[in-house]
Amino acid sequence: MKSEFNWEYAPAPEAKDHIKLKAQYDLFINGKFVKPYSKKYFATYNPATEEKLAEVAQANSKDVDLAVASAKNAYDKVWKKMPAKERAKYIFRIARVIQERARELAVIESMDGGKPIRESRDFDVPTAANHFFYYAGWADKLEYAFPNRNPQSLGVAAQIIPWNFPLLMAAWKIAPALATGNTVVLKPAESTPLSALKLAEIIQDCDLPPGVVNIITGFGDTGAAMVAHPNVNKIAFTGSTDVGKIIQKAIAGTNKKATLELGGKAANIVFDDAPINQAVEGIVNGIFFNQGHVCCAGSRLFVQENVAAEVIQKLKARMETLIVGDPLDKNTDIGAINSKEQLDKINEYLKIGSKEGLELFQTSASVPKKGFYCKPTLFIGAAQSNRVVQEEIFGPVLTIQTFRTIEEVIEKANNIPYGLSAGVWTDKGSKIFNLTSKLRAGVIWANTYNKFDPTSPFGGYKESGFGREGGLHGLMPYLKF
Ligand code: ADP
């Protein structure tokens, strides 16, 4: 289906000749890049071209020991004792250098992760800098945040992050930990380590005392060794619900504090009194931008029955205008899927949904031959019992269900193991408040979607995890009282 809005855009590629990547990256421990005890390295690829970008060290349990020991030493000898306003200066410095090197970081993020440069340039990198700015401001004001409660730091935080927002997740984790006086061992995901390693260079340039932030690379076993380490006091994890459960089991009976930010399957609810054109834009923003690689993606659309035909028709027309392709092209809306494994998983769900008898709609967008791509996809006429409705797909795939009454949509929206986020579109404030009080989701957007701010807490209910990141709430998991 072609719409009148279909123009051909001339390519507008972002330059990458200013990017300096080393062939091989070591582990960032105690302020220096050091070779891994394991002597092993693994490759990280550009999912848009399938080209190898660099090799990174594979940390084993001895490397984890070294990183934790360096974090503990820096905590005991330097960071814990440093006046809070001095700590804040380092965090401000990191924020400023991220801003200065924003272009380089955005290009690396898009090359390593596959997300469109527009997203990494306009969202990921500036929001990462904002998180450092925001938490730098809190560092010397903890007594005001928690009056009469004598907030104290915990010690060493082990932080494990996924591949969908590599730099931003590193910022979400590192900034509040440092502001509250803790030291850090962070592990980025195995398929997107490069922006975290660039952040390690920035931290080195900012002259942070050695060992305050350590960044190590590796697979799940490296993460597991971090979680199990006896000198780790706090675990902050963002990733799959399956691994979240493994981590919870591993720390049961210890006094390690944890925050887990896990999967999601958000309901995006459109009432018949909603501004339909804006809602369609919000639906597209909620699931298709960023390839659906967002745990809070609005992946389940609920449309009130009497406007369903109109919404679906306008949605299809808008989807036809989405450009799928080179992440480094500024016109691209949907970049590359992060890895072949992830693309295979999405394709498997496309088969499952079709077998479940759902109507599948995919746009006529052309997709590059090399690299991992998925066209924006709808499953129309979905029901609660469908696997594509119940399970997290993590791709540009939207299921569409209809509803008649507000009670019905609340029941359906909540009937899911997850509870991370939701969206509601209506022109009635009373309906928004009624719904937001009954939806079991940590974040609910009204007449917008996927808006983030460092001052707002983020986190889930049920199998989406526990604990909050962002805002004043995001300080709490790093403190004892
Ligand atoms: P995703 O599906 O988003 O990749 P994962 O939960 O598999 O989510 O991975 C998120 C992060 O958790 C990655 O950095 C990965 O290496 C790490 N990880 C995987 N398995 C484990 C484990 N058993 N213990 C700790 N960390 C793990």
Residue whose CB lies within 8 A of the most ligand 1 atoms, among 60, 64, 160, for a mutation test: 160
Would you give the distance in Å from CA 84 to the centre of its chain? 29
How far apart are alpha carbons 462 and 444 in whole angstroms?
A: 15
The verdict on whether 295 is a catalytic residue reads yes
CA–centroid distance, residue 318 to ligand 1 (Å): 35
Using DSSP's 3-state secondary structure scheme, residue 56 falls into strand
Is the predicted pLDDT of residue 31 greater than 70, yes or no? yes
Name all residues whose Cβ lies below 6 A of ligand 1.
160-163, 187, 189-190, 219-220, 223-224, 227, 239-240, 243, 246-247
The DSSP letter of residue 250 is H
pLDDT of residue 300: 98
pLDDT tens per residue, range 292-302? 999 999 999 99
Name the band, by pLDDT with cuts 50, 70 and 90, for residue 479.
very high
Q: Token digits for 309?
A: 């035909």
Which atom of ligand 1 is found nearest the CA of 224?
A: 24
The DSSP letter of residue 448 is S
Q: Which of 261, 392, 463, 469 is catalytic?
A: 261
Q: Is 417 left (phi over 0), alpha (psi -120 to 50) or beta?
A: alpha
Q: What is the pTM (predicted TM-score) of this model?
A: 0.96
pLDDT tens per residue, range 97-142? 999 999 999 999 999 999 999 999 999 999 999 999 999 999 999 9
> Which residue carries 């709430």 as its tokens?
473
HEC states along 300-325? EEEEEHHHHHHHHHHHHHHHHCCCEC
Name the band, by pLDDT with cuts 50, 70 and 90, for residue 9.
confident
Protein residue whose Cα sits closest to atom 3 of ligand 1: 239
Is the predicted pLDDT of residue 187 greater than 50, yes or no? yes
CA dihedral over 350, 353, 357, 361, signed as positive or negative = negative
pLDDT tens per residue, range 335-356? 999 999 999 999 999 999 999 9
Interhelix angle 166-179/84-100, rounded to 10 degrees, is: 160
Residue type, 15: A
Protein residue whose Cα sits closest to atom 21 of ligand 1: 220
CA–centroid distance, residue 244 to ligand 1 (Å): 8
Residue type, 24: Q
Average pLDDT, the chain: 96
Residue 29 class from Cβ within 10 Å (0-12 exposed, 13-18 middle, 19+ buried)?
A: buried
Is the predicted pLDDT of residue 29 greater than 90, yes or no? yes
Domains defined for the chain, CATH in brackets? 24-262+464-480 (3.40.605.10), 267-446 (3.40.309.10)
How far apart are alpha carbons 460 and 296 in whole angstroms?
A: 9
Q: How many helices (H) and strands (E) does the chain have?
A: 16, 22
- Sheet of 234-238: strand order equals 32-34, 27-29, 213-215, 183-187, 156-160, 234-238, 257-261, 465-466
> Which residue carries 């004598």 as its tokens?
150
Is the predicted pLDDT of residue 4 greater than 80, yes or no? no
pLDDT tens per residue, range 216-269? 999 999 999 999 999 999 999 999 999 999 999 999 999 999 999 999 999 999
pLDDT of residue 365: 87
pLDDT of residue 1: 46
Would you give the distance in Å from CA 358 to the centre of its chain? 29
Protein residue whose Cα sits closest to atom 18 of ligand 1: 220
Range 440-464 average pLDDT = 95
pLDDT tens per residue, range 356-388? 999 999 999 889 999 999 999 999 999 999 999
